[in-house]
A = this chain, B = another copy of it.
Amino acid sequence: MAAATMIEYDEASPAVRAVFDDIKASRNVLDVNNFWKYLARDPALLQRTWESVKQVMAPGALDPLTKEMIYLAVSVTNGCAYCIASHTAAARKAGMTEEMFGEVMAVTGMANETNRLANGYRVPIDPMFD
Protein backbone atom coordinates (compact mmCIF):
# COMPACT_ATOMS: atom_id res chain seq x y z
CA MET A 1 0.00 0.00 0.00
CA ALA A 2 1.62 3.22 -1.14
CA ALA A 3 1.80 6.02 1.40
CA ALA A 4 0.61 8.39 -1.26
CA THR A 5 -0.95 8.03 -4.65
CA MET A 6 -1.49 10.56 -7.34
CA ILE A 7 -4.83 11.71 -8.67
CA GLU A 8 -4.96 12.41 -12.39
CA TYR A 9 -7.45 14.79 -14.00
CA ASP A 10 -9.51 11.98 -15.51
CA GLU A 11 -10.24 10.39 -12.14
CA ALA A 12 -10.62 13.65 -10.22
CA SER A 13 -13.81 14.94 -8.61
CA PRO A 14 -15.39 18.13 -9.98
CA ALA A 15 -13.96 20.13 -7.05
CA VAL A 16 -10.44 18.89 -7.76
CA ARG A 17 -10.85 19.46 -11.50
CA ALA A 18 -11.87 23.05 -10.84
CA VAL A 19 -8.60 23.67 -8.99
CA PHE A 20 -6.55 21.88 -11.64
CA ASP A 21 -8.26 23.97 -14.34
CA ASP A 22 -7.44 27.17 -12.50
CA ILE A 23 -3.78 26.16 -12.05
CA LYS A 24 -3.48 25.31 -15.74
CA ALA A 25 -5.13 28.55 -16.82
CA SER A 26 -3.16 30.73 -14.38
CA ARG A 27 0.17 29.22 -15.34
CA ASN A 28 -0.63 28.54 -18.98
CA VAL A 29 0.44 24.89 -18.76
CA LEU A 30 -1.07 21.69 -20.16
CA ASP A 31 -0.93 19.69 -16.94
CA VAL A 32 -0.34 20.36 -13.24
CA ASN A 33 2.80 19.25 -11.38
CA ASN A 34 2.92 16.10 -9.27
CA PHE A 35 2.68 18.26 -6.13
CA TRP A 36 -0.93 19.18 -6.93
CA LYS A 37 -1.84 15.62 -7.98
CA TYR A 38 -0.80 14.38 -4.54
CA LEU A 39 -2.50 17.16 -2.59
CA ALA A 40 -5.67 16.29 -4.54
CA ARG A 41 -6.14 13.40 -2.14
CA ASP A 42 -7.38 16.07 0.28
CA PRO A 43 -9.55 18.48 -1.79
CA ALA A 44 -9.82 21.08 1.00
CA LEU A 45 -6.04 21.15 1.43
CA LEU A 46 -5.58 21.32 -2.34
CA GLN A 47 -7.87 24.30 -2.71
CA ARG A 48 -6.57 26.21 0.30
CA THR A 49 -2.94 25.67 -0.67
CA TRP A 50 -3.49 26.72 -4.28
CA GLU A 51 -5.45 29.84 -3.32
CA SER A 52 -2.68 30.81 -0.88
CA VAL A 53 0.13 30.15 -3.35
CA LYS A 54 -1.69 32.08 -6.08
CA GLN A 55 -2.19 35.06 -3.77
CA VAL A 56 1.32 35.01 -2.28
CA MET A 57 3.19 34.58 -5.57
CA ALA A 58 1.24 37.19 -7.54
CA PRO A 59 3.13 40.33 -8.57
CA GLY A 60 3.08 42.90 -5.77
CA ALA A 61 5.79 45.02 -4.21
CA LEU A 62 8.09 42.19 -5.31
CA ASP A 63 8.13 40.76 -8.82
CA PRO A 64 7.51 37.03 -9.42
CA LEU A 65 11.18 36.32 -10.15
CA THR A 66 12.31 37.72 -6.79
CA LYS A 67 9.60 35.70 -5.05
CA GLU A 68 10.65 32.50 -6.80
CA MET A 69 14.28 33.03 -5.82
CA ILE A 70 13.26 33.50 -2.18
CA TYR A 71 11.17 30.32 -2.42
CA LEU A 72 14.19 28.51 -3.80
CA ALA A 73 16.50 29.80 -1.05
CA VAL A 74 14.12 28.54 1.64
CA SER A 75 13.73 25.16 -0.08
CA VAL A 76 17.52 24.78 -0.33
CA THR A 77 17.86 25.67 3.36
CA ASN A 78 15.30 23.02 4.29
CA GLY A 79 16.76 20.43 1.91
CA CYS A 80 13.44 19.64 0.22
CA ALA A 81 14.52 17.86 -2.97
CA TYR A 82 11.15 18.11 -4.71
CA CYS A 83 10.82 21.81 -3.91
CA ILE A 84 14.38 22.60 -5.03
CA ALA A 85 13.73 20.92 -8.38
CA SER A 86 10.34 22.51 -9.00
CA HIS A 87 11.23 26.02 -7.82
CA THR A 88 14.53 26.05 -9.70
CA ALA A 89 12.45 25.34 -12.81
CA ALA A 90 9.88 27.99 -11.86
CA ALA A 91 12.57 30.60 -11.19
CA ARG A 92 14.24 29.88 -14.51
CA LYS A 93 10.89 30.22 -16.26
CA ALA A 94 10.44 33.58 -14.52
CA GLY A 95 13.82 34.78 -15.82
CA MET A 96 16.51 33.51 -13.46
CA THR A 97 19.79 33.32 -15.37
CA GLU A 98 22.73 31.06 -14.56
CA GLU A 99 24.47 34.03 -12.92
CA MET A 100 21.44 34.79 -10.76
CA PHE A 101 21.18 31.13 -9.75
CA GLY A 102 24.81 31.19 -8.65
CA GLU A 103 24.22 34.30 -6.56
CA VAL A 104 21.09 32.87 -4.92
CA MET A 105 23.13 29.80 -3.94
CA ALA A 106 26.05 31.90 -2.68
CA VAL A 107 23.80 34.09 -0.51
CA THR A 108 21.88 31.06 0.78
CA GLY A 109 25.10 29.26 1.68
CA MET A 110 26.60 32.31 3.38
CA ALA A 111 23.43 33.00 5.39
CA ASN A 112 23.38 29.41 6.63
CA GLU A 113 27.00 29.76 7.71
CA THR A 114 26.72 33.10 9.50
CA ASN A 115 23.42 32.08 11.15
CA ARG A 116 25.44 29.39 12.97
CA LEU A 117 28.35 31.68 13.78
CA ALA A 118 25.89 34.12 15.40
CA ASN A 119 24.35 31.20 17.34
CA GLY A 120 27.64 29.72 18.45
CA TYR A 121 29.27 33.00 19.51
CA ARG A 122 26.01 33.90 21.28
CA VAL A 123 26.03 37.40 19.83
CA PRO A 124 23.60 39.76 21.61
CA ILE A 125 21.39 41.91 19.39
CA ASP A 126 22.77 45.41 18.86
CA PRO A 127 20.51 47.98 20.57
CA MET A 128 19.98 49.81 17.28
CA PHE A 129 18.42 46.66 15.74
CA ASP A 130 15.80 46.28 18.45
Chain B residues contacting A92 (CB-CB under 8 Å) are: 1, 3
Main secondary structure of the interface of A (DSSP, over half): helix
- Decide: A121 near B4, CB < 8 A? Known: A48-B55, A112-B113, A113-B109: yes
> Contact: A110 with B53, CB < 8 Å?
yes
- Decide: A85 near B39, CB < 8 A? Known: A71-B111, A104-B70, A109-B114: no
- Cα A39 to Cα B118 with chains together (Å): 9
Chain A contact residues, CB within 8 Å of chain B: 1-4, 33-35, 38-39, 41-42, 44-45, 48-49, 52-53, 55-57, 60-62, 66-67, 69-89, 92, 97-100, 102-126, 128-130
